[in-house]
Structure 1
Amino acid sequence: MEIAGYALDLLVVGFPGKSVCHGGMGWSTIALLRGHGRVALIDTGPMGMRKVLIERLRAHGHAPADVTDVLLTHSHHDHTINWVLFPNARIAIGARELAWSLEQPWGETPVPELYMRELASSPRVDRLADGAQALPHLRAHAAPGHTPGHLFFVLEDEDRDVLFVGDAAKTRAELASRRCEATLDSDASAATVERIWSCWSRKPGSIVVPGHDVPLLQRDGRIEYMQRHQAAVKANFGDDPEAFEIIDLTGAISRAGETAR
């Protein structure tokens, strides 16, 4: 997609699923913006995405050293931990978020303690305030709730905008219901979701990119998926170490009145 002088590509598209037996999945969205002399990422995914992140970046003609800016919506590991892959990038995160993350008890939260400590002392860190111009045509907005210093980013064009909302609204369900789970402050999250809706509704055709779902459009308050969900795992249940079965996690699920994913 071409918008506001950038080429926008989603290197990884998040998935609105949770593990039942093995802790968090952390399958989050990673966006790539190229334009105005920048090669920028919005969020970096969890450690398990390192290989696919590097491969997909290279498929777009770039090595990690080419990345000029990494913008982080919040400090949780599944969005931040790969900032260390980009040796020449400015690493931007909310000032309030970074300060909060350093105060969290080690081993008890999704904050990657050592990574945030290193980021706080890095000469490449850029602490963003509410309303900061993070990149040309890209503005940061305070989005407390999921974490206290969460940000969402709005890429502003004349005809439509793109909102990168991270875990301020992780899924379509949270946007539709105005209710967020896995939040530190439900009331603050509800107010943030209303703020997202206000920005989303300003220009017809504007897009929301959630932290753990496919991109979304809305028409008169009705939310539409822009693409199909994709998620699968390989599993080996037999005696042959190379005999894997592919399990489609979308399960061809459909509900009355919805397009199958």
Structure 2
Amino acid sequence: MNAQVDVLTAGYAEDRVASTVTLIRDQDAVIVVDPGMVAGRHLILDPLRDLGVAVEEVTDVVFSHHHPDHTLNAALFPRARFHDHWAIYQDDRWDSREAEGFALSPSVRLMATPGHTLQDISTVADTDEGAVVLTHLWWNAEGPDPDPLAEDLEQWRAGRRRVLDLHPVLIIPGHGAAFNPTYVE
């Protein structure tokens, strides 16, 4: 059995900003990716409840990077382990590890994809339909291209190539609705 992926709220970056917040379930793992800024916490909590998930059941939270618009609501998940580019955090523990290839569950792994920031990571979920990649290498399906805030455009381009080489069926971007990457050049 493979991972199940549900977008809890699609983000945006216009005159206001919100991150795309996603739930991944795989066996015993209940993972929330980028629980950052949203117009109200109910935009995270209500979809979770509708999917039958209590905040106490969330086992892991992944930060694609450390900007507040992707991390602000992390404290909603009191029992979770928190993952970033170089460690796992829980309570008063800081366990160093590289993100590249780290498996959160049998069907979910992390991938180092610097570009937007030098510490960016992407989450790859193997689903019954194929690979789904949650990443800030795309803000949304339309762009911007290139990322105007990228710390290293060459790494950003290389990260996009790495993601596309996985032939994902879906990309869930940092600030927009999920899209089929066949529409991306």
TM-score range normalised by the length of the shorter chain: 0.7 to 0.9
Which stretches of structure 1, 4 residues or longer, exceed 3 Å deviation after superposition? 119-122, 124-128
Give deviations 1:50-79, integer Å, cap 9, x for gaps: 232122212222221121111111111111
Give deviations 1:193-223, integer Å, cap 9, x for gaps: 2222222x3x6xx11111111111144xx34
TM (norm. structure 1) is 0.63
Q: Number of aligned pairs? A: 184
Higher relative contact order (CA 8 A, sep 6+): 2
Q: Percent identity?
A: 26
**Structure showing the higher strand proportion among its residues:** 2
CA separation of 1:218/1:126 partners in 2, compared to 1, >3 Å: closer, same or farther? same
Corresponding residue of 1:171:
140
Write the letter of the residue equivalent to 1:198: D
Alignment check: 8 A CA contact 1:93 1:126 kept = no
Match of 1:129 among 99, 104, 111: 99
Corresponding residue of 2:177:
214
Q: In 1, Cα distance between the equivalents of 2:126 and 2:90?
A: 29
1:60 matched to 2:57: no
Corresponding residue of 1:105:
none
Q: In 2, Cα distance between the equivalents of 1:77 and 1:69?
A: 18
Unmatched tracts of structure 1, length 5 or more: 20-24, 99-118, 224-261
Q: In 2, Cα distance between the equivalents of 1:159 and 1:209?
A: 14
Write the letter of the residue equivalent to 1:169: W
CA separation of 1:48/1:126 partners in 2, compared to 1, >3 Å: closer, same or farther? farther
Unmatched tracts of structure 2, length 5 or more: none
Q: In 2, Cα distance between the equivalents of 1:124 and 1:90?
A: 10
**Structure showing the higher helix proportion among its residues:** 1
The offset of 1:94, in angstroms, is 1.0
1:84 matched to 2:75: yes
Structure whose CA Rg is larger: 1
Write the letter of the residue equivalent to 1:7: Q
Q: In 1, Cα distance between the equivalents of 2:91 and 2:9?
A: 29
Alignment check: 8 A CA contact 1:89 1:124 kept = no
TM (norm. structure 2) is 0.86
Q: In 2, Cα distance between the equivalents of 1:192 and 1:81?
A: 25
Write the letter of the residue equivalent to 1:197: L
1:148 matched to 2:148: no
